[in-house]
Amino acid sequence: MARIPAAERRAALVEAALRVVSRRGIAQATTRAIVAEAGMSLASFHYAFDSRDELIDELITTVVAREQQAVLPDELDGHDLREMLEAGLLRYFDHLRADPEHEQAMLELTQYALRSPDRHPLAVAQYARYAELAARSLAAAAELTGVVWRTPVEQVARVLIAFTDGLTLTWLVARDDDDARAVAHAAADALSRMADPR
């Protein structure tokens, strides 16, 4: 095995772990499965990380930070707010369909974090980050379409996150595209009605 500095190895292991969790679930993401995916030995694992838990924690924070650009539309389109929101949700849906295992992995990581008091803050931070990004998009959308949010945009953002999660979970189970689009449509409708013309 080529010699790789510990810092790079940490990153490689996190990537390998994400692939394993996506493909086989977090329960199957054992230290051995992860090092096999990364093509290294067990000793390298524990040279780079003190424990599996430490790796999982880093996996969660890494992956959350990266979600940033994936979910956020870099450009908003649509003529009015409702259309713009629906386009955004459908964009997320495309993202979900393109890599369902990834979103399933994110869901599993959240639930995993929820189970231990030590890790609970990670799940909360994950959602706070999502909400922050959503709030930024919602503020921009309101600006562009000349409306103002009736309730604080942070709360609208959290409603959007809830709708997105629901869409994800339902589609992952049923894999019904029409249902998912109906959810996106209804969600966009509901959200757009939380704003008033300026």
Partner DNA sequence: ATGCGACTGGGACAGTCGTCCCACTTCGTC
Partner DNA sequence: GACGAAGTGGGACGACTGTCCCAGTCGCAT
N residues, the chain: 198
Sequential DSSP letters for 27-75: GG--HHHHHHHHT--HHHHHHH-S-HHHHHHHHHHHHHHHHHHHHS-SS
Cβ closest to a second copy, residue 6 vs residue 182? 182
The reply to whether 147 sits near a second copy by the rule CB under 8 A is no
**Under rule CB under 8 A, how many of the chain's residues touch a second copy?**
43
Please name the amino acid found at residue 14: V
Can you read off the two tokens belonging to residue 15? Answer: 């990537």
Sequential DSSP letters for 164-182: HHHHHHHHHHH--HHHHHH
Select from 15-23, 38-46, 59-67, 187-195 the region that touches DNA (CB under 7 A).
Answer: 38-46
Among 15, 31, 57, 190, binds DNA (CB under 7 A): 31
Q: How far is the CB of 65 from DNA (least distance, A)?
A: 23
Q: State the helix-helix crossing angle for 100-115 and 52-71, rounded to 10 degrees.
A: 130
The reply to whether 9 sits near DNA by the rule CB under 7 A is yes
Element (DSSP H or E) covering residue 195: strand 195-197
Q: How far is the CB of 6 from a second copy (least distance, A)?
A: 29
The reply to whether 166 sits near a second copy by the rule CB under 8 A is yes
Element (DSSP H or E) covering residue 147: strand 147-149
Cβ closest to DNA, residue 43 vs residue 173? 43
Cβ closest to DNA, residue 45 vs residue 92? 45
Q: Site residues for a second copy, window 127-146 (CB under 8 A)?
A: 127
Sign of CA dihedral 137, 141, 143, 149: negative
Euclidean distance between CA atoms 65 and 128, whole angstroms: 11
Euclidean distance between CA atoms 154 and 185, whole angstroms: 21
The reply to whether 163 sits near a second copy by the rule CB under 8 A is yes
> Which positions lie near DNA, rule CB under 7 A?
1-6, 9, 28-33, 40-47, 50-53
> Which positions lie near a second copy, rule CB under 8 A?
24-25, 27, 104, 107-108, 110-111, 114-115, 123-124, 126-127, 151, 155-156, 158-159, 161-167, 169-170, 172-174, 176, 178-179, 182-183, 186-187, 189-191, 193-194
